[in-house]
Structure 1
Amino acid sequence: MPTDTIFAKDLRRMSVLENSPLFLMTVLTRLHRNLVHGRLRVHADITLEMLLAMYIIFENQPIKQQSVADYLMYDRSTAKRTVDNMVKRGWVKTMKDDNNQKTKLLALTDSGEEIRQVCSKVVIETRTEFMGCLTEEENKELTRLCTKALLAHHK
């Protein structure tokens, strides 16, 4: 990056940041998340986190709320808040587990499934556009490297 910089023109270069993959991934994730949220807002009052939870619920329904938290690596209160917001919007229904009345099971409503389908297309289009600066091979390599790092620190 000899002349190009990730910073605004009036900011001086900082190699400690420019050479930090974790900083760069954080900024890239934030930029992507903000772009996706702006585009999702056109279709529904939904966040990327809600949509990810909807994918998990769809694939595993009925699913325990704690399992959704585990998939997303959320603490219990964050998962509860996310689920409560989806229930309030009519996208997710809750039910008691027959085996354990304290356990809350989740499933998508018909409305939730419609939102999931519409918003999924928006996210895929946005991700394709956002990561279009990389070749298919570079995207695969980025995914491989991120996965490798995550697996090395998996609990």
Structure 2
Amino acid sequence: MSTDSIFAKDLRRLPVLENSPLFLMTVLTRLHRNLVHGKLREHADVTLEMLLGMHIIFENQPIKQQSLANYLMYDRSTAKRTVDNMVKRGWVKTMKDDNNQKTKLLALTESGEEIKKVCSEVVFETRTEFMDCLTEEENKELTRLCTKALLAHHK
């Protein structure tokens, strides 16, 4: 690594962290989330997780709440909280499954589809700016390597 450090100037270098790809990915993800959330707040009271949920719902509607949780790799209570927040904002509607009354199905409302559209553009632009420090080939390689590691540990 160069003499530049990922840490604030008043903190000493810690190679145990600087040489850890998983730590670096966590920090990079956190920085990106904070940047995206700041830009999203200008348009709606939406989080990146809600927006990802809206994309999944849109592509699979009506979708079981548990299926949404599985896509997002959330536990049941986290998925419920996310869905409840989207329902409260009028972006998602719930309905009972005719085959199983205990199963909650989800679909986007017109308002949800509009928020998804507008905010997805913001996220795309922000991600493009954020990752602009890498070439197109480097971005593809990063995606390939992350996918490879994820598939190696996929249950």
TM-score after normalising by structure 1: 0.99
* Alpha-carbon separation, structure 1, partners of 2:98 and 2:11: 59
**Shift, 1:28, TM fit:** 0.2
Question: Is 1:96 aligned to residue 96 of structure 2?
Answer: yes
Q: How does 1:121-140 map to 2 (within 5 A)?
A: 121-140=121-140
1:40 is matched with which residue? 40
Aligned AA (2:55)? Y
Aligned AA (1:118)? V
**Shift, 1:2, TM fit:** 2.6
Aligned AA (2:48)? L
CA offsets, 1:24-81, max 9 Å, x none? 0000000000000000000000000000000000000000000000000000000000
Percent sequence identity over aligned pairs = 89
**Shift, 1:3, TM fit:** 1.2
Cα-Cα RMSD: 0.4
Runs of 4 or more consecutive aligned structure 1 residues displaced over 4 Å after TM superposition: none
Aligned AA (1:74)? Y
TM-score after normalising by structure 2: 0.99
* Alpha-carbon separation, structure 1, partners of 2:100 and 2:141: 43
Flag structure 1 segments of 5+ consecutive residues without an equivalent.
none
Look up the SS of the partner of 1:10 in the other structure. coil
Flag structure 2 segments of 5+ consecutive residues without an equivalent.
none
Aligned residues: 155
Q: How does 1:6-155 map to 2 (within 5 A)?
A: 6-155=6-155
